Amino acid sequence: MSDPATQALQPRLLQAQSSGSAGSGAAAAGSGTGNSDPVRPGLSQQQRASQKKAQVRAFPRAKKLEKLGVFSACKASDTCKCNGWKNPNPPSATRIDLQQQAASLSEPCRSCGHALADHVSHLENVSEDEINRLLGMVVDVENLFMSVHKEEDTDTKQVYFYLFKLLRKCILQMSQPVVEGSLGSPPFEKPNIEQGVLNFVQYKFSHLAPKERQTMFELSKMFLICLNYWKLETPTQYRQRTQKDDATAYKLDYTRWLCYCHVPQSNDSLPRYETTQVFGRNLLKSIFTVTRRQLLEKFRVEKDKLLPEKRTLILTHFPKFLSMLEEEIYGENSPIWEADFTMPASESTQIGHQTAVISPTSASGSPALSKCLNSSSSLGSTDTGGVEPITGDKRKLPEALTLEDAKRIRVMGDIPMELVNEVMMTITDPAAMLGPETNLLTPNAARDETARLEERRGIIEFHVIGNSLSQKSNKKILMWLVGLQNVFSHQLPRMPKEYITRLVFDPKHKTLALIKDGRVIGGICFRMFPTQGFTEIVFCAVTSNEQVKKGYGTHLMNHLKEYHIKHNILYFLTYADEYAIGYFKKQGFSKDIKVPKGRYLGYIKDYEGATLMECELNPRIPYTELSHIIKRQKEIIKKLIERKQSQIRKVYPGLTCFKEGVRQIPVESIPGIRETGWKPSSKDKGKEVKDPDVLYNMLKNLLAQIKTHPDAWPFMEPVKKSEAPDYYEVIRFPIDLKTMTEKLKNRYYVTKKLFIADLQRIISNCREYNPPDSEYCKCANTLEKFFYFKLKDGGLIEK
């Protein structure tokens, strides 16, 4: 680069190097420090470029022509080959443009001797707007020139140099910059990342309440903004991390990203596109694990810069959100990446209209992310080759159970959701989730509470890994397998090391590995027998120094249960020695074996002196969150009791009847007892039918009689929205006789109380929505009397 423009730029490079003002590239690194914005490090450089362009565009016309002359070819004669005017009195490195006087148009070029006017003659009749556009390219050329000299990565340096030459050429020809070659034109993938993430929110969270659904949408928006302003790792770094010799595909995407997304952030002469709108799943697969780790670490380090109300959301819910997204990114059968992905209208319309919120910010760059993180308006790592990341996302509902059914499964006496949400606000302490320094755990905390919190913060990870004889070995997976072999050998000294090694590295066996700080600290080795419907647990261990009150063993087993439920295997079998029986009992294992002996005999390994134990999994239970759910339920009930007590707090006079010789009084006669919510004991009421088949037949006959009643016609089927548009806004828990029939067929009514509760809800819903003198309420009154008569007649309630 020995042309006049390059020589003219040398003093600026020296000035930048001496003052330290130049960035380490066209924009700063995504994981770099020294920027006030936690996730948009390119912002400061972007601002500097904008300020510089405004400064240059404010120059007088003569000064502008001088600056453009440096990049303009001489037109004095056809034989002159000078491609840029060179100042005969070059400025020193310490002087800046504002302090320099404009050169005269008659000033000769130090290179060819022709006047400055001969270099800028083509600009005489050019509009001021076009001059300013060309000056913007000049500033970008200067920035790219410094980037080329300061960048150390070869691949990145080559791209910077190509864009430098492209803008030089466009200034000479007064044309628009167009990236040419084999890179192609945006968009490069469909559906793009933004659409895939929005599909993910609809796919996973459309069943949530509007407020919770909006929170998930805001998290997705925050992730997309982060991705648009995050600097990707270089192809060299990618090869080192993934241990892949061939990184051609990633290098192509990286080059496209530099040319179309990253460099244009601070060099707006180039056309700019949002990363999330021109790239899709392939790039996301390449960068997600490392970007997620860097992003969460940056949030943890800079958590004090976040507003308190956002800190809890970002440090607790965002990691969980990313874990769920990770499974959809790397899952083979995820529907969110299908071109024709759709959700039922009743679900998708609830959040689909918000898509426009995630619009690309301008190249000039308002601090969108800072607003996203700190505004109070809307928000209340490893490779996968041979690895299956374990996340705690909600499982799909059984096919026979629709979302509407799930919403309807309530029993009489449910607490209104508004009251539950209000109570939840009083029991949720944001300070309790901000970091390990906080004393989170109560004396009665669940065994796996610590492990669950550490997983949410990204301190520990769970991965199902295994050896493969058909695919190229991944170095990281092999290192983890060696770590597992060491843990099992150390914690299970009775087992021969050769035997442990053989099973851990056997391709038929898999291991759920517990990873902390990049090393293995525990795991469960197992072998699945899908055709037999069970899995054998072979080894289970956690390093001794990590066992104390951490709950890793419980959380490991809960993740294993979730993993098997997703793979439709609902039975565990294992041989436990006398030291392990206690642990397995706590995890739901029993010595009572329900799996027929013929299904496992000859399949599992028999251990002398060990006890065979079994665990049956319930596909409806979210095991990794179960203890947390129960804890929350207890807290809600406790608060509701306290609320009830405060509402009815009244001091009654003491009982004097006993002084008068009365030996016994009915409990219900005690003043104030009923106001506390006390109800008579159910011992005197109809006894519960224990035989499920007998109960099923009784309820079936009773329901058939109710459906044939003349006044049952309004309640035969679900209310249609076309007939009552606001019905489902008023009635939170709808129910009808058709739905009850389906629930009865699915054996939902395991007790008579559930059946009676749904019958009563039909009546109460009718009275809540319709006027008392309406025909519907009259039918409800008549039907209520009828079915209570039948309940008494059938012995289901007391007469």
Give the annotated binding-site residues for acetyl-CoA. 540-542, 547-554, 579-582
Which pair of structure tokens corresponds to residue 345? 């209208």
CA distance 310 to 380: 7
By DSSP bridging, strand 519-529 and strand 534-542 are antiparallel
Judged by DSSP in three states, 388 sits in: strand
Identify the CA nearest to 357 among candidates 496, 197, 243, 490. 197
- For residue 386, with 0-12 CB atoms within 10 Å meaning exposed, 13-18 middle and 19 or more buried, which class applies? buried
Q: In Å, how far are 37, 101, 377 from 59, measured between CA atoms?
A: 32, 11, 42
Which pair of structure tokens corresponds to residue 592? 């009572």
Q: How many CB atoms lie within 10 A of CB 27?
A: 28
Judged by DSSP in three states, 331 sits in: coil
Residues near 206 by beta carbon (within 8 Å), at least 6 away in sequence: 213, 343, 347, 348, 350, 351, 403
- For residue 482, with 0-12 CB atoms within 10 Å meaning exposed, 13-18 middle and 19 or more buried, which class applies? middle
Quick one: which H or E segment has residue 198?
Answer: helix 193-205
**CB-based contact 266:47 (threshold 8 Å):** no
**CB-based contact 320:392 (threshold 8 Å):** yes
The binding site consists of 540-542, 547-554, 579-582
Say how far residue 366 (Cα) sits from the centre of its chain.
25
Residues near 710 by beta carbon (within 8 Å), at least 6 away in sequence: none
Tell me the residue ranges of DSSP E strands in 571-662: 571-576, 611-616
Max CA separation in the chain (angstroms): 131
Residues near 431 by beta carbon (within 8 Å), at least 6 away in sequence: 438
Which residues form the catalytic set? 536
Q: In Å, how far are 247, 311, 465 from 474, measured between CA atoms?
A: 15, 37, 11
CA angle 219, 225, 230 (to 5 degrees): 120
